[in-house]
Structure 1
Amino acid sequence: MEPVSPLKPAEPRDRKLSIHVVTWNVASAAPPVDLDSLLQLDSQDPNLDMYVIGLQEMSCGIMSLLSDTAFEDPWSSFFMDVLSPLSFIKGNKGGVNICLRLYGYYVSIINCHLPPHLANNDQRLEHFDWILEMQNFEEPDIPNILDHDLIVWFGDMNFRIEDFGLHFVREAVKSQSYSDLWEKDQLSIAKRCNTLLREFQEGPLLFPPTYKFDKNSNSYDTSEKKRKPAWTDRILWRLKRQPHTDSCTPRLPAPGFSLSLRSYVSHMMYTISDHKPVTGTFDLELKPLVSVPLITLKPEALWAVENAMLINYSLTQDFPSSPWDWIGLYKVGLRHINDYVSYVWVRDNQVSISDGLNQVYINMSDIPETEDQFLLCYYSNSLRSVVGISNPFKIHAFLEEDPLGEVQPQM
């Protein structure tokens, strides 16, 4: 092995992240009692780093809207009841498109619900193009959604099976002869003809069509309409391709950044909706473009007299700091960025700056001594995201009593 020169920093190690994507048209139903299978929590070692959960047709009645405003929608609440004890955090993003950076790479996540019905295939394709055209960004590196290194696009896309009649489709499904149906799947047909859509990949459809079922059953539609089964619920992805000056040479994905599909399945056990949920589990391997965290946080000591904790933090030279940045103190297992126990504005409570090291005090007067573990999060107003998280610690670990019974900080 070649020794590393002390004057040259070591190359950042490759990273492997496991991402679990869920799409489900819940047809206005309330959450079921158990979603462990959907979230792979019934596996002995799920080994997941990130959940991406997209729902369609959530209840939007007036009482639901009032409830969402005052509290939290029941689906989000249910998922976070399960996932927050496992250290997963729900961000404050809204809408159908979420953009984030992973180790310097740009990732876009799209949840969509396209027009229904067999005859509206042209409308679905128009909506696909419209979504791409309408997503513009202020970042110079990613002016368009297609400039992202990875796009994960999923949802109730509503593509249907053409030509074949109801009886043929149901018999093919019953005998698991899915390959007979793939050639007439509208999305598969569109991918063969549409140059842009062809750049999106999908796993093999080795599971039964996910629509339309009688609710509370595994029987396909027995109503008067008797809709044909179809793979309406899909998960696609696209890796950014590097341009070539030679037009004859195929474009390749960005070096050091690859995505592989571990599983692509439906979950027949869930019957609350006329759709079955679909999940895709991916392994994302990347060579970090950013090896140093934007913010590094470290709690130093709890000062009993001042009822405050000293926080040391450092930031990279190119970090876009703002007067509206803040640091929050949280209990481990937080559900949301707003679940802080206490917080401090980094500029208002700053006490010193030296050699890139910043110090602030955070108020601790209302926090009882507890065995709970805490952590610190730095929220960037410019990036609208958490950009630094400390290691977990216990509050009482910073205290010790002297022989006179006075509380002194541990040094």
Structure 2
Amino acid sequence: MNINEFTREGFLKKRGGSYKSWKKRWCSLHENKLFYYEKQEHSNMKNHIPKGFIYLEDCSISVKSLEKNQFEICVRDKKRKYLVEANSNDEMMEWILGIFIHRDQYYFAQIGAMNSNQDEDYRRNSYNLPQIFNIEQFVTFEVQKIEKTKKKPFRCFVINKEDGTIGIGKGNMKKRSKTVTKAITKSGNTFGSLQDAFQFYQKFNPENLIRFERAVSDKTKIRLMWDVKGHFNDYIFTSGVSRERFINEITQIKVQCLGKKELALLYEPIKIKLFIGTWNIGSAAPPDDLSDWIPNNQDIDIFAIATQECDYSPRQGYSNTQDDWTVTLSMHLGTKYTLIAKQSLMGIKLHVFIKEIYIKHVHCIQTETKATGVAGVVGNKGACGVAFQLHDSSFCFVGSHLAAREERIAIRAENYRDIIGGLHFGIPGVDITEQFQYLFWFGDLNYRCEYPFDVGVELGMKKDYQKLLEKDQLKREMSQGKVFQGFSEGKIDFPPSYRYTRGEVNIFSDQKRRAPSYCDRILWRCLPNFDVEQLSYQPHLSFTTSDHKPVSSTFTLEIPPLLTHDSIDKNAFCVINFSVLFGKNFRTLKSCLDEKEKQKQKSIRIDSQITFEASFLDSNPTTELVLNNPNPIFNKIPALFPFITSKNYLENHHIILIVKDKRGQIIGQAPVSLKGSCDKNPIQFLAIIRKKGFLLGEISGSVHITWPSLNLIRF
């Protein structure tokens, strides 16, 4: 394809100058630049120098404003942003699509000859992302290294396509033309070509790269993990597009080194089996053999194990309980499993293990704690959380210990809300319940069965579990929408997990005359169009060291393949379009918490706007602000431009609609699934707005993803 066949010319208003005024300029797209001239006739004069140009390599593109009939395009490169304004929405979209073509298709034109010589297996292994600017056999990126939170000067990442090595050089590359005129090595020497300079670069082998971790909060940042001991380097790219292209190149190199079994993990859906376990250990040392609770037959892919009151005296040779318990679990599971995350909050502990074969495919591992004890700072009550991604599927595990005693129902609900707001994972400001595809919440939730002691014991001895559950506080609170909205729990047809006499087998304790209860629970929540299958849910009655029994559950789920066989050339860019969005019954979190505010709900002033958030978007545009309306209608919806354009990828992800007030404070969030949005017709959706577990309204509309055909664009 000759990129010069797709030139686009016309007048645009460009913002600039000493007074930041809007000036009419004749603009022209050529190769990977947007030139602008003072007059139209200047563009046809061979010796006339343009007023300037915008370099489109790795740029991000967004719609700046939709208010007051302004059709502004924001083009941002690594140094600054440029604002240009079209005369109409159609003209604005034509310019945006033209910029995308000249940004992405220029790379295809540069590498077309090289790709034509690659074999079919190599082309199939290409990760479905735009390709890179190539210089001979080299691919270059400009990055900044981060050391101790400080940004270092720009470095040049260079990938040698011939042998797959990565070189890192000092200084930024001069690549404003098809050939490199200057390359600076770490020693400061200047060479006439990159090929001469590359031999002096510090080199790494991608085969030694265990995994990469995309930063969720910063779309330009990546962490490269070099070994299982946790050695890593953090880098910042010039844009999110550049970061994804680097990942594409590294993935292609690593794929060629994999065997058939490892390739199957990338190209085929994976069925994952999870084990979730929770136990209030009761400050007593657990038995040496955990087999009756935690299986070690290697049938499980992921183990997530939470313990509460895990503060027993450590065995000889261990300085603290955390180390003792970690080694106990590791020895029990064996060498086929690797501990990927652990977290501790006083007696609350959470460990996550994964089967060794998946360790290279896990990334973005995060851990957090939230204390909800005395004054909200003491860690005897609270939660530990672990989040990560396996391929492109996101998981979150929360092990919690909520307030004790039968009468403290409201305090437990407050603990629940504080934990949601206090575990800062993933996208900043977005609740964990609204952004992870799979969320598991388990632990000693301390909800009781409201029976007198004697009645509860009698029902337990008779195995009348359904009668016990009629007065289960958690079931009632969930049905009333007060806690764990949108969560699921398996069928309970087993004895209560609390309260037993220590050292005795299945004898309920009368020490404090507390009725037998299902304190230890395992719940889960999935984003729309995701689901899990629960295989088991049970207590383990043989354990007698604590007044609680361990509880476990196993699940299966299927995650999509990481790589696809989609044709990159056909999917160079795409557009995500939302229809008019209709809000319904918007309210604030304050109105849910304050009884006086509830009475004033009808007169509450609701000013709202919607920001679109996803890890694959070039930018996060916002709708117009709708004033004083609890049922707003958002008519002017900006187009969204993802820098990952694979149909399979997009259909397995969500866009989060973040509702904000006029000051930018978050009112709530609503995830919208893109499943089916790539089909011929738009899909309708109804999304629930939540904040800290409260339902704060609804948003309805439709969404459609399209890949505009080049011959439909008027050039």
Verify same fold: TM over 0.5. yes
**Letter of the 1:59 counterpart:** D
CA distance in 2, matches of 1:198, 1:102: 26
What is the match of residue 124 of structure 1?
412
Find the residue that maps to 2:502 and give its secondary structure.
Answer: coil
CA distance in 2, matches of 1:231, 1:196: 16
CA distance in 2, matches of 1:99, 1:289: 19
CA distance in 1, matches of 2:563, 2:496: 41
Shift of 1:91: 3.1
What is the match of residue 108 of structure 1?
396
CA distance in 2, matches of 1:25, 1:125: 20
Shift of 1:290: 5.5
Shift of 1:33: 2.3
CA distance in 2, matches of 1:151, 1:135: 13
Correspondences of 1:180-259 after superposition (within 5 Å): 180-194=467-481, 197-217=484-504, 218-223=506-511, 225-241=512-528, 253-254=529-530, 258-259=531-532
Shift of 1:86: 3.3
What is the match of residue 75 of structure 1?
325
Shift of 1:289: 4.5
Give the one of 544, 549, 554 matched to 1:271. 544
What is the match of residue 40 of structure 1?
295
**Letter of the 1:182 counterpart:** L
What is the match of residue 27 of structure 1?
282
**Letter of the 2:414 counterpart:** E
Shift of 1:17: 0.8
Deviations 1:89-114 (A, max 9, x none): 35354540101101211111000000
**Letter of the 1:262 counterpart:** L
CA distance in 1, matches of 2:309, 2:563: 38
Gaps of 5+ in 2: 1-119, 127-265, 345-368, 370-383, 566-615, 617-715
Q: Given the superposition, is the C-alpha separation of residues 111 and 290 from structure 1 closer, same or farther in structure 2, using an over 3 Å criterion?
A: farther
Q: Given the superposition, is the C-alpha separation of residues 134 and 112 from structure 1 closer, same or farther in structure 2, using an over 3 Å criterion?
A: same
Deviates more, 1:71-80 or 1:11-20: 71-80
Shift of 1:222: 2.5
Find the residue that maps to 2:407 and give its secondary structure.
Answer: helix
Give the one of 146, 150, 156 matched to 2:444. 156
Does residue 134 of the first structure (1) align with residue 386 of the second (2)? no
What is the match of residue 534 of structure 2?
261
CA distance in 1, matches of 2:495, 2:469: 12
Gaps of 5+ in 1: 242-252, 293-317, 319-411
Shift of 1:211: 0.6
CA distance in 1, matches of 2:287, 2:314: 22
CA distance in 2, matches of 1:233, 1:92: 20
Deviates more, 1:280-289 or 1:270-279: 280-289
Greater fraction helix:
2
Q: Is the 8 A contact 1:14 1:288 kept in 2?
A: yes
CA distance in 1, matches of 2:342, 2:298: 25
Does residue 174 of the first structure (1) align with residue 424 of the second (2)? no
CA distance in 1, matches of 2:544, 2:312: 21
CA distance in 2, matches of 1:8, 1:61: 56
Shift of 1:288: 2.9
Find the residue that maps to 1:108 and give its secondary structure.
Answer: strand
What is the match of residue 400 of structure 1?
none
Q: Given the superposition, is the C-alpha separation of residues 196 and 189 from structure 1 closer, same or farther in structure 2, using an over 3 Å criterion?
A: closer
CA distance in 1, matches of 2:385, 2:486: 19
**Letter of the 1:49 counterpart:** D
Sequence identity percentage: 29
What is the match of residue 88 of structure 1?
338
Q: Given the superposition, is the C-alpha separation of residues 197 and 34 from structure 1 closer, same or farther in structure 2, using an over 3 Å criterion?
A: same
CA distance in 2, matches of 1:236, 1:115: 18
Q: Is the 8 A contact 1:31 1:75 kept in 2?
A: no
Deviations 1:57-91 (A, max 9, x none): 01177999x813xx953222211111133333353
CA distance in 1, matches of 2:447, 2:300: 30
Deviations 1:267-314 (A, max 9, x none): 00000000000001111212134679xxxxxxxxxxxxxxxxxxxxxx
Q: Is the 8 A contact 1:213 1:219 kept in 2?
A: yes
Shift of 1:183: 2.0
Deviates more, 1:283-292 or 1:259-268: 283-292
**Letter of the 2:417 counterpart:** D
Q: Is the 8 A contact 2:271 2:556 kept in 1?
A: yes
Deviations 1:300-356 (A, max 9, x none): xxxxxxxxxxxxxxxxxx9xxxxxxxxxxxxxxxxxxxxxxxxxxxxxxxxxxxxxx
Q: Is the 8 A contact 1:105 1:289 kept in 2?
A: no
Does residue 17 of the first structure (1) align with residue 305 of the second (2)? no
Q: Given the superposition, is the C-alpha separation of residues 196 and 116 from structure 1 closer, same or farther in structure 2, using an over 3 Å criterion?
A: closer
Q: Is the 8 A contact 2:284 2:312 kept in 1?
A: no
Q: Is the 8 A contact 1:30 1:74 kept in 2?
A: no
Shift of 1:46: 5.5
CA distance in 1, matches of 2:334, 2:342: 15
**Letter of the 1:287 counterpart:** P
Q: Is the 8 A contact 2:388 2:396 kept in 1?
A: yes
What is the match of residue 99 of structure 1?
387
**Letter of the 2:522 counterpart:** I
Q: Given the superposition, is the C-alpha separation of residues 84 and 90 from structure 1 closer, same or farther in structure 2, using an over 3 Å criterion?
A: farther
**Letter of the 2:494 counterpart:** F
Q: Is the 8 A contact 1:31 1:78 kept in 2?
A: no
TM-score, normalised relative to structure 2: 0.35
Q: Is the 8 A contact 2:494 2:539 kept in 1?
A: yes
Highest Rg: 1 or 2?
Answer: 2
**Letter of the 1:201 counterpart:** S
Q: Is the 8 A contact 1:27 1:273 kept in 2?
A: yes
Find the residue that maps to 2:319 and give its secondary structure.
Answer: helix
Find the residue that maps to 2:494 and give its secondary structure.
Answer: coil
Does residue 54 of the first structure (1) align with residue 306 of the second (2)? yes
Q: Given the superposition, is the C-alpha separation of residues 34 and 212 from structure 1 closer, same or farther in structure 2, using an over 3 Å criterion?
A: same
Give the one of 527, 545, 558 matched to 1:285. 558
Shift of 1:226: 1.5
CA distance in 1, matches of 2:299, 2:274: 9
CA distance in 2, matches of 1:82, 1:62: 17
TM-score, normalised relative to structure 1: 0.59
Structure with the greater relative contact order (CA < 8 A, sep ≥ 6): 1 or 2?
A: 1
